Structure 1
């Protein structure tokens, strides 16, 4: 190669060495393969080797030099990229490199559908694009490659991503080849990288998970915060240049529940100061982080946040099932600090900020009521005034409830633990817990494993004039939903009374009988005496 050609090559390399890959959110660009010395080899093809990681998860030793980066990060699988070749940018011409260093790639350069690119080149001309080259989805390690790329500049767009990806990586520009002047000191004249490693980032929001607990000692409706909903979520890892704009966990309660409360907020098991969030309680219960709280969350990437809500069951639906799903609302954007007054409920999120929330799995609790008919054993007439208490069964899900035995203390329903038969002889208990279940992600209409639960009724007071039997416990199977008629019938027998005295009706009959006998005897005596006198 002549001295003049080498000098020209150095000038081209120096101009290209200042290239900044248009990254709004690209992350790192690095490289591996080295081309021949000197000018760009247009006969070669190259590749874009994509390493997809969660924003902020990668170590700090990465560089933007196109070489392989080994500092790891949390991979993101199943992401597809498309490289759109720019047909009117000739990289063999010096003028084509001018201005690339300061070229800013707009966030919407890929178009609304990520497949209709538009870009203004240095000098003001609109970029013309050839057909895009689509990658295979990133694998479990977050890697994929777009290969066999001729020498060109490429706009790379993230064209498909799983639902867990909250914010796609911004579009970015890559040149094939990519300048490598300072990273490889073994080639001081400058070299070109034809296989370019890039590290676009995503803000990944994993679906939060929800569980349910029903307090064993509070199995009646309106027992007071007897149902708790622990919700856990992974705090997304975001880029150092980003900040959270909002972070909200929101739980709209079913109409059959009320009095939603915030029980606790923890990160990795440690209580979060209440000064970091706003708690909204009621029919919808919410935890929304303020500016200081958002800054704190950024320091806890990939940590587990747990918010525990509690609520009261106020009524039993027709089928007995009360379903519940919460949502996580979170977003992050490039900024030096979080917003001063971030939204703390979903209704506060500004219009035009698309965030429908990431739902939890569905949880369900089922409830049933009890109706007992109290009647006279002899004539089946309804009895008013019998008093009962209801207890949990020692084996609540026995196949047969007939042998159930009580355990624990009486259950209160609506604050009352004694229930009295009315004029129709009915004892009505408004609602008792049957079962609960945590559904799998994405599954709706979850059905609990059990449709009935064993309880024990204990009669504590018989109606006036009736016997309270020694064996006054009655097992009952409570089925999910509302009972149309009755679950069980319980008979009472009348009290015994002392025998009536002889002066009563029985005594009068006896005296009348004795009197009649005496009269008959007297008549017989008189007739006998008369016959004797006649013979004399």
Structure 2
């Protein structure tokens, strides 16, 4: 059978199989039946994933990777464009040998192009860019159908995924593409090659959380360290966080956790990073020494902790801008928690039976565990327990909280739903108080607790007994005096009579 007849038989068989099995997919050739020069059509499939840390997903030989192999890969949304390469005819053996001399460029910032080193008179060049596809958000997949066979194509990333460290290299593919040996010594040709370009996504997976403890809040911004394309290095790593007016920045801390077993590293301000606070906007910027550490910690994470005091009613709603090499991601705090500003009200119970606002009382407040049902025995006991972090007790800042003329202490902002114990460390003169703690739970802004002192003298036994005074006492006293005078008169009369008789 002649070569021409063989090709006619192959093409006819291919066409029948394609119509039955592939429908409108345009797969007009197959690895088992076709070879270069058989014409027909094929396809190019792109799977776009985030670049993994460590090993690649599989071989980059144009074959389709098993679904189980790519099941854990993170798909990305990007645009890819396919362009023809003119003056390359893969029905000709010599043109196959020219492929190694081709260089392709193209990305959102660089116009697509193809050059050929030591070219012949009809040098390869960029032809028509015939299709652009957006990768599927759930699979990362895009397919370019009905591509004429025996052609070379350039595929380039024409729109980057959000946060990408940079574009992938433009790729030259052929239809058909050399496939694997079938095991019997026969060359296979892949008319539907697959490629798996991957991008490093700067800041991808960054998280932010907020933790309320008593009268303070801490935010942790956690940023995974990903590998950069090619020989790129980190040139910028900035975390900026604008705090709400209900909290006040106090301190910051940066910790780098490389891949185990490398130890955690606490970075040094001024050496590894700069930290500033301007009007409530906190900015952490890695310095050159810090950037070097991050370059060596791919696969690890950086955690920037912001500590702040609660100063007014609000919640932990917050987000940060993470900028790495010009790319920005904005992690937010999930499930924000509330906190409230309020006060302790101080009253005095008077001997008259009335109650009035009491000035001059002082309180210290402690945040205790929500599982506690009683307060530490007294103020000294609470202080001792707060000195041991494992006890889960902290002293609220800003004390002592002293009651004013209206009986209210200055305000304190505390976490909703948490328990607190207040101790009266100074009792106004002339009143009685308690040394034990007063437990309360914050639910809303306003009055957190009301403490009443009783005036000394209200309760029996408060004071020593006084002499009896008043009208009844005076009558009794006069009566007693008259009786004494009468008795003295009788005695005088008896003595006088006795003396007369003796004369």
Relative to the length of structure 1, the TM-score reads 0.62
| 1:240-265, Cα deviation, whole Å (9 max, x unpaired) | 44333333344443332222321533
Q: 1:457 aligns with which of 413, 416, 422?
A: 422
1:266 aligns with 2:257: yes
Report 1:44-193 matches (<5 A).
Answer: 44-55=40-51, 57=53, 59=55, 66=62, 75-79=73-77, 82-86=80-84, 91=89, 101-108=101-108, 119=113, 127-132=127-132, 139=139, 145-151=143-149, 152-158=151-157, 163=162, 167-178=166-177, 193=190
Q: 1:214 to 1:278 in 2, by over 3 A?
A: same
Give 1:373's aligned residue. Answer: 346
Q: 2:208 aligns with which of 207, 210, 214?
A: 210
Secondary structure of the corresponding residue to residue 370 of structure 1: strand
Where does structure 1 lack aligned partners over 5 or more consecutive residues?
Answer: 4-31, 112-117, 221-225, 332-352, 398-402, 435-450, 520-536
Secondary structure of the corresponding residue to residue 231 of structure 1: strand
Give the C-alpha shift of residue 460 in structure 1.
4.0
Distance 2:153 2:482 in 1: 133
Give 1:488's aligned residue. Answer: 450
The answer on whether the counterparts of 1:83 and 1:132 sit within 8 Å (CA) in structure 2 is yes
Distance 1:234 1:296 in 2: 13
Give 2:317's aligned residue. Answer: 323
Distance 2:309 2:331 in 1: 22
RMSD after superposition: 4.8
The answer on whether the counterparts of 2:84 and 2:126 sit within 8 Å (CA) in structure 1 is no
Distance 2:407 2:369 in 1: 28
Secondary structure of the corresponding residue to residue 245 of structure 1: coil
Where does structure 2 lack aligned partners over 5 or more consecutive residues?
Answer: 4-29, 117-122, 384-393, 486-503
Residue-pair matches, total: 423
Distance 1:197 1:454 in 2: 60
1:386 aligns with 2:361: yes
| 1:176-211, Cα deviation, whole Å (9 max, x unpaired) | 23467xx86999999854232323121134231233
1:278 aligns with 2:273: yes
Give the C-alpha shift of residue 313 in structure 1.
0.5
Give 1:228's aligned residue. Answer: 218
Secondary structure of the corresponding residue to residue 229 of structure 1: strand
Give 2:331's aligned residue. Answer: 359
Q: 1:47 to 1:313 in 2, by over 3 A?
A: same
The answer on whether the counterparts of 1:179 and 1:193 sit within 8 Å (CA) in structure 2 is yes
The answer on whether the counterparts of 1:52 and 1:143 sit within 8 Å (CA) in structure 2 is yes
Secondary structure of the corresponding residue to residue 211 of structure 1: strand
Q: Which has the larger radius of gyration?
A: 2
Q: 1:240 to 1:462 in 2, by over 3 A?
A: same
Give 2:442's aligned residue. Answer: 478
Distance 2:419 2:76 in 1: 48
Distance 2:465 2:133 in 1: 106
Give 1:420's aligned residue. Answer: 402
Give 1:198's aligned residue. Answer: 195
